[in-house]
Amino acid sequence: MSDDPKPDERKIIVDEDWKSRVEEEKKEALRQKEAGQGDSAAEAAAGETTEPPSGGPADHAGAGEQAIPLPPPTLSVLLSSLYLQGMIALGLLPNPVTGKAEASFDQARHTIDMLAMLQEKTQGNRTAEESDELEHVLHELRMAFVTLKQSPPPAG
C-alpha cells in the first residue's frame, strides 16, 4: 500500500486544484470586466457576489426570476409595511391582489391595533425619529378610519 498517497498529499492536491480554479475564475472575471460585460458578471464569475447564502430568498425564486433585494429589517420598514396594509384595508390604495380599492374596516382596525401595540411594547426603545414616524402613521390611519367610517367614499 505504499502506492497510496498520504492523506496530507491528497489535501495538497485538492487545495492546489481549488486555488487554480479560483485564479482562473478571477482572470476570467477581469477579462469580462475589461471587455465591458459589467461588474455583476465579473463579480459572479469571481465568486464575489452579494447573493444571500443557501436557503435565502434567491433559492426560492423560480427559473428565470430575479431575486428582489430586500430592505434592511428596521422599525421604519416595518412601520411602512403596516401603514401600506392599513391604507389598502381602508380602501385608499388598491389591493395588489385584486387591483381594486376595497375597504375592510375589520382589517384596518386590526392594523391600527397592531401599530398601537407596537408603540406600547417599544416604548423607551425607539429613537426620536422612529417615535415621530410611529405617531404620524398611527395618526393618519386613525383619522382616515374615522373619516371613512362616518362617510364612506362612493362605490365606483
- What is the model's pLDDT at position 58? 47
Domain of 142? 75-150
59 lies in some domain: no
92 lies in some domain: yes
Domain tally for the chain?
A: 2
Closest to 49 (Cα-Cα) out of 23, 73, 29, 19: 29
> Does one domain contain both 79 and 133?
yes
Q: Are 85 and 115 in contact (CB under 8 A)?
A: no
70 lies in some domain: no
> Does one domain contain both 109 and 144?
yes
Place of cell 362605490: 155
156 lies in some domain: no
Query: For the CA atoms of 118, 121, 126, 130, what is the dihedral angle to 10 degrees?
Result: 10
Terminal Cα distance for the chain, rounded: 86
Contacting residues for 129 by C-beta, under 8 A, at least 6 apart = none
pLDDT tens for each residue of the chain, 156 residues long: 555 555 555 444 444 555 666 677 777 777 777 776 544 444 444 444 444 444 444 445 555 567 899 999 999 999 999 999 999 999 999 999 999 999 999 999 999 999 999 999 999 999 999 999 999 999 999 999 999 999 866 665
Distance CA 115, CA 92 (A): 18
121 lies in some domain: yes
57 lies in some domain: no
- What is the model's pLDDT at position 75? 95
